[in-house]
Structure formats: structure tokens, C-alpha cells
Structure 1
Amino acid sequence: MTIRIATLSSLCVLTFASACTDDEGNPPPTPTGCKAPGTLCWDFEEGTVPAGWTPYRDEFSGQLLVDTSRAHSGQYALHAKEMVGGKEGSQGGPKKTLRFNLPANFGPVLWGRAYVYTTPERPMSHAGLFNARYPRPGQTGGAFDTLDWYEVATYQQKYMSIWHPPEPPGFPEWVQVSDTPLVLNAWTCLEWHFDGANGNEPEAADPRVWLNGEELAWPEKFVFSDPPTSTPPVKEKASNFTVLETGVFLYQGLSVPTDWWIDDLAVGPQRIGCALD
């Protein structure tokens, strides 16, 4: 979410869940692991930023590096270190991310998996962890700020997922907030499914997210826009996902220095699962 001047509850308009079309609640397919064709996996064991990933956002204090301070597997992980800055409840916050250009013709469906560790506190602010972007209908490419995108994040200390139009402004956007608190001081497996094709439905599907194999529920769903609107965005359908972004990007301030680690990141056109190959 791009502009945050007050809390979401004061700026957003609730909409009926029936405005969405997806397969929420249906069991996910059998995991294929990292060996499936088209799957890309990064364990950060090179000890540096993996080939193809390039620095993107860099705002306020903190670092984004690959180090040995904590790892889910092996010795290394991506570390968003001592993130802090900005004023909670106001626009702006620490952002440290990397970008990756996907191979041509990746397709309109993207499954992802990452292990994430957060300490010492759950931020109230919107903290993005991963997003994937695709050109709008009728386009085959384009600059980063012209792309529609799906996001996995946390907000108000709980897991969240979003569908966005191009950023800026990145809204009106379709937001789903879970009733599951962000896990602290432990490695957790996050999986996500971004279905930009969505069969014969007229719009792309809502994002789906799993935590340690259990699908998250979204008791809070709404449109966020500034100024507010009651009209849900049209979730434009995808032909190919083209760009990934990972790291940590906060859209409001963060007063407590916080660390995140991301390890065993993977994306592909099929479900990857939590098991490491």
C-alpha cells in the first residue's frame, strides 16, 4: 500500500467478499519442489546477493545483505538488518529490497515459497516481504511502475496479501488481512499463489497464502484508496509475470529496530511446497 497517512481502518472502505473470484479453501496441489521445470530457487549459499538480483529500494536506516547471522538451512540467508525510521502511522518507512527479472514467458501463474524469521517485535505498520508484477492487458513489458502486482506482507501485526494496480499510486487496491499474528522468533514457511489467469473468470484471482502448510483466512477484506472509494479495483488478468521484489519495505514508520531474515526463497509455475530438495 503506497500512501499511509492514517491507519487503514480510517481510510478504507469495506466491500463484500463476493466481489472476488478465487478458489480460496480448495486444497492446493501436491508440491513439486525445486526440481520441477521452470522453478527458480535461491538458498543464498553463495554468501552474497544471488546472480540476477539487483538492489532496488533503499530508504531510512538499516541494511540488506546476505550474512551468516541466522539461516534456515546452510550458513547464509538474506538479512534485513536493524530496520528503523519514519513515524508510525505516517507515510514513509524503512525499505530495503532487491529486484529480479523473470525469464521470458514465465506464465500468468506464480507459486512462491520462503522461510521468514522476524524479531524482536511485530510491526503495526505495513511491511511487505515479497511481490510479483506483470504487464497490464495488451502490453508485453514495461517499466516497473507500469505493472500490476500481487504482494505478501504483514499489517497490524498480522499476515496480509494485496492486489495492486501500478505503483505509483498503487491503489485502489484489494486488501486481505488475516486473523493470524505474525510469528516471532521462529522460522516459518510462507507459501503464496498468484493466479493472474484465473481460468474463465473475468478478473485475476485473489492471492492465497499458507503458513506452515495451513491456508490463511481473510476475515477482513477491503478496498484501500486515497481518497476512499467503495468501488473494488478491476484485477486485470496476466499473460506473464515479469519481475520479482523481495526484502522488507515498510509503508509507515518503524520505531523499534527490527530484523528479518529470508531464506530458501523459490518461485515457479507449480506449487513448490515447504520441503527443501
Structure 2
Amino acid sequence: MNARLSKFSAMCFLALMTACARGQLKPDANTPATTGCAGQESLCWDFEDGTVPAGWTPHRDEFNGQLLVDDTRAHSGRYALHARQLSGGKEGTQGGPKKTLRFDLPAHFGPVLWGRAYVYTTPERPASHAGLFSARYPRPGSADRAFDTLDWYEVATYQQKYMAIWHPPEPPGFPEWVLVSGTPLVLDGWACLEWLFDGANGSHPEAAEPRMWLDGVELEWPERFVFSDPPTTVPPVREKATDFTVLETGVVLYQGLSVPTDWWIDDLAVGPRRIGCGQGHPPR
């Protein structure tokens, strides 16, 4: 990773803001990805200061486990964000361990957010819904910026497979539009996850469905459904975005987890264009 947010230069920050202001946030999954943060339009966190990076603050803390930056395992360098020994709650019922950080994006970030992170999971693939990253934005026409008033996209796993979701504000966070892949989450190895949240979606009347890649290969979604309580089959209206405002990362279990589980997240990056996995990431 070429830069840490804590050392992000004024020039890089200006480049990001200029691109956003000019509306150059055009998602193109066919454009070759850069490596790391070479384009200087991305915000990147490699955790190499050995502590929670500047701007990130503790958010959720439920049940057992810890969220910390340590040197127990890293994708690159020495340090990574570690969700350590998460457990608690009852599998199959709502309520599980949640350990996260949140970050307020710079003003006028824009309605398109590409992301990339390397994730390591052990010792088992959880069956419960495990959120890894989300990005939120205000509802159209709303001046409210409170966390619980924002629409949001999420990257997660469910039933031991990768999943992506579009949500209305949380609570309750549903009815939500759920996309479940047929791809098992990578266990006991580093997985490069990429995602595209296109809240603008051109002239379409709704924000786009989330898209997601594993080690450079886009995931397919053989299972699509609406989750709601009480149940409904009516899909939510995916409201369009003007600017993403808040990020959240760590691990959020929405159902219980009986096996103490560890996740490491490293080399996290977001920006207006595809960031890529980098040439140093081995093929699977």
C-alpha cells in the first residue's frame, strides 16, 4: 500500500476532491484496475502504524471478542485489522457478535464507491450473516446525516458464501435486497474482495445492485430475494445517492456465532474508480 490515511498528502486529498467535484465518478468494471492506491484518488488504510488509523472510531461492540490492530497476521507489511475470537448469541436467531469501526468520508465524495480489501477467515465458515464492509448515503432530498437515517450497501457472507445487500436505514435495515453468490468464502487464506456501489446508476430510476469480485473474478448471484420482518416479496426501492458519507468495517454478525472465529482485514481502500488486487496477490 503506497500511503496511509494518517500521512495522506494535501495533494492527494485535493486530487480526490477535484475528481468528485467534476463528476468524474463513472463506474466501469471493464477498465483495467490500478494497483494499490497508485491513482492518488483513493483513500487507503494499510494499518502499518500498528493502531486504529486516524479518522476511524469505534462503533459497534456486542458479545465476545475484540477488534484491534495487531501483528498476528497481515496481508502485507506487519499489521492488519483483527476481529479476534468473535462469538456469542444463538445461531439461527437474531443477535450476534459485532465489532466495527466507522469513518466519515470527505464532503462531496460522490455517488459511486469502489472498494477493495484483503480478508482472512479462520477456523470455520460462518453460516450466519457476517457483514464486513458497508457504505452509507443520505436519502434523496433529506438533509439528515445521522447514521440511522442513511441508505446503505453491504459486503458480507451468508450460509458460508459471499453476499452483497442494499439496505434502507438501520434500524430496521429492511426490507433489503439480498444477493447471495454460489461461491464459498475463502477459508484459511487471503481473499481479495472488490466491490462497486453505484448509487447514481446513470439514467436508471434506482441505484444499481451491488457488484462484487473475488480475486479479480466477478461473482454471480444465483440467489436473489427480499428479506423483511414480517416477510414480503415486494423489493425495496433502491434510492439514488448524491454522496456517500460514512464507511463501516470490521465484522457484524446478525445471528449468533458458536465457534470463536477470527477475521483479519488488510489493505482496505475506497475510491471513485476500480482499485484492483495488485500484482502481488497470488492466483487462487
- Contact 2:29-2:274 at 8 Å conserved across structures: no
- Secondary structure of 1:45's partner? coil
- Secondary structure of 2:148's partner? helix
Displacement of 1:30 in angstroms is 1.6
- For 2:32, the equivalent position in structure 1 comes to 30
- For 1:258, the equivalent position in structure 2 comes to 261
Greater CA drift, 239-248 or 223-232: 223-232
2:132 is the alignment partner of 1:129: yes
- Secondary structure of 2:90's partner? coil
- Secondary structure of 2:34's partner? coil
Q: Aligned equivalents of 1:112 and 1:234: distance in 2?
A: 23
Displacement of 1:35 in angstroms is 2.8
- For 2:104, the equivalent position in structure 1 comes to 101
Unaligned runs of 5+ residues in structure 1 are: 1-25
- For 2:56, the equivalent position in structure 1 comes to 53
- Secondary structure of 1:266's partner? strand
Greater CA drift, 34-43 or 92-101: 34-43
Displacement of 1:29 in angstroms is 1.9
2:85 to 57, 82, 85: 82
Which letter does structure 1 place at the counterpart of 2:271? G
Which letter does structure 2 place at the counterpart of 1:98? L
So what's the TM-score if we normalise by structure 1? 0.89
Displacement of 1:32 in angstroms is 2.9
| CA 1:53–1:276: 2 relative to 1, 3 Å | farther
Displacement of 1:142 in angstroms is 1.1
- For residues 40-97 of structure 1, what are the alpha-carbon distances to aligned partners after superposition, in whole Å with 9 as ceiling and x for unaligned? 0000000000000000000000000000000000000000000000000011000000
Q: Aligned equivalents of 2:266 and 2:29: distance in 1?
A: 25
2:59 is the alignment partner of 1:72: no
- Secondary structure of 1:145's partner? helix
Q: Aligned equivalents of 2:151 and 2:194: distance in 1?
A: 20
Displacement of 1:169 in angstroms is 0.6
CA RMSD of aligned residues (A): 1.4
Percent identity reads: 78
2:211 is the alignment partner of 1:208: yes
- Secondary structure of 1:125's partner? coil
Which letter does structure 1 place at the counterpart of 2:253? L
- For 2:197, the equivalent position in structure 1 comes to 194
Figure out how many residues of one structure are paired with residues of the other and give that number: 253
- For 1:16, the equivalent position in structure 2 comes to none
Q: Aligned equivalents of 2:235 and 2:122: distance in 1?
A: 34
- Mapping of residues 131-210 of structure 1, within 5 Å: 131-210=134-213
- For 1:8, the equivalent position in structure 2 comes to none
Which letter does structure 2 place at the counterpart of 1:121? E
Q: Aligned equivalents of 1:97 and 1:67: distance in 2?
A: 15
- For 2:3, the equivalent position in structure 1 comes to none
Displacement of 1:230 in angstroms is 1.3
So what's the TM-score if we normalise by structure 2? 0.87
